[in-house]
């Protein structure tokens, strides 16, 4: 039995042993998801219109094939105005100007927060960035229903974030498959061993380890170092949150990360293009 299979066996036997109990803790994440349920309910009447709109936008840009061929760490640079953990970062930022700097610095993709209530983002931000930039664009939001996947494609998204912590396994699998069927790539986000197992069972080809615990919003790069060994080498691994500089990128790359997702540090930096360039120069180490 491989180490990954052993970990799966333990996770199947006791999901709460590795943090599944955190799903039941009240907090900011619960409030965010409750708000998303209201948004989904309001979107219900638009399902057919969104499906037609999704057919009319340019096809999704490929991700995994290009990233697998890279010798350097792929940088996903994020357009982010605020967050529950950091508060106001740059409420007045211009997504087009910032994403242009990211692209010129060598970012392989742009992540756009589309949640309005907690992050100050919008789908209009995503549409504008997707139209202006040549690199793939990720819709980063709290997706809990198929209509949000259709909405993402209709807005031009190339990638969609799926957070294991807020999705039942069957729904996670269905949403991952739907993202794939629409030609997009799912970035399946995990924070503990049990969630890695769930992501792999759902067929994820791109797994993101969130170094931030969404229940308490504490960040630790050791989360990537701990979980990377459970992600097979043929699955691309992204380290998310808490990455500030080249040294942090080198640290998670040494653990096996193929890519990093960076937001706050880039937005706050005086030279986002320069910082992206420094991060993108770090070599990949890979995993067995």
Contacts from 63-70 at CB under 8 Å and sequence distance 24+?
Answer: 63/109, 63/136, 63/158, 63/159, 63/185, 63/206, 64/185, 64/205, 64/206, 64/236, 66/108, 67/108, 67/236, 67/258, 67/259, 68/236, 68/258, 70/108, 70/258, 70/284
The answer to whether the CB of 135 falls within 8 A of the CB of 157 is no
Rounded CA separation 104/40 (Å)? 36
Q: Bridge partners of 161?
A: 187
- Joined tokens for residue 116: 């309005």
Q: Which two tokens stand for residue 157?
A: 């998204």
Of the candidates 210, 194, 205, which has an alpha carbon nearest to the alpha carbon of residue 260? 210
List Cα–Cα distances, 266 to 56, 208, 253, in angstroms: 33, 19, 18
Distance, C-alpha 175 to centroid of its chain: 14
CA distance 256 to 230: 10
Residues with catalytic function: 78, 80, 140, 189, 210, 240-241
């Amino acid at each position: 039995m491989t180490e990954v299979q052993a970990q799966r066996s333990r996770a199947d036997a006791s999901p709460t042993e590795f943090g599944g109990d955190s799903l039941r803790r009240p907090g900011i994440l619960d409030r965010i998801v409750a708000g998303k349920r209201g948004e989904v309910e309001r979107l219900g009447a638009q399902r057919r219109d969104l499906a037609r709109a999704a057919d009319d936008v340019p096809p999704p840009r490929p991700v995994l094939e290009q990233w697998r061929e890279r010798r350097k760490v792929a940088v996903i640079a994020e357009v982010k105005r605020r967050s529950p953990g950091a508060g106001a970062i740059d409420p007045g930022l211009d997504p087009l100007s910032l994403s242009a700097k990211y692209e010129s610095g060598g970012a392989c993709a742009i992540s756009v927060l589309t949640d309005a209530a907690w992050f100050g983002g919008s789908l209009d931000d995503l549409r504008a960035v997707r139209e202006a930039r040549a690199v793939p664009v990720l819709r980063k939001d709290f997706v809990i229903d198929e209509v949000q996947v259709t909405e993402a494609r209709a807005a031009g998204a190339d990638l969609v974030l799926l957070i294991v912590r807020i999705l039942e396994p069957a729904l996670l699998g269905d949403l991952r498959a739907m993202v794939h069927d629409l030609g997009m790539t799912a970035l399946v986000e995990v924070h503990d061993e049990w969630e890695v197992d769930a992501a792999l069972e759902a067929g994820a080809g791109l797994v993101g380890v969130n170094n931030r615990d969404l229940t308490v919003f504490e960040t630790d790069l050791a989360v990537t170092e701990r979980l990377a060994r459970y992600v097979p080498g043929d699955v691309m691994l992204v380290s998310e949150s808490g990455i500030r500089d080249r040294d942090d990128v080198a640290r998670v790359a040494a653990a096996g990360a193929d890519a990093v997702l960076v937001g706050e540090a880039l937005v706050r930096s005086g030279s986002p293009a320069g910082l992206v360039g420094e991060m993108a120069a770090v070599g990949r180490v890979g995993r067995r």
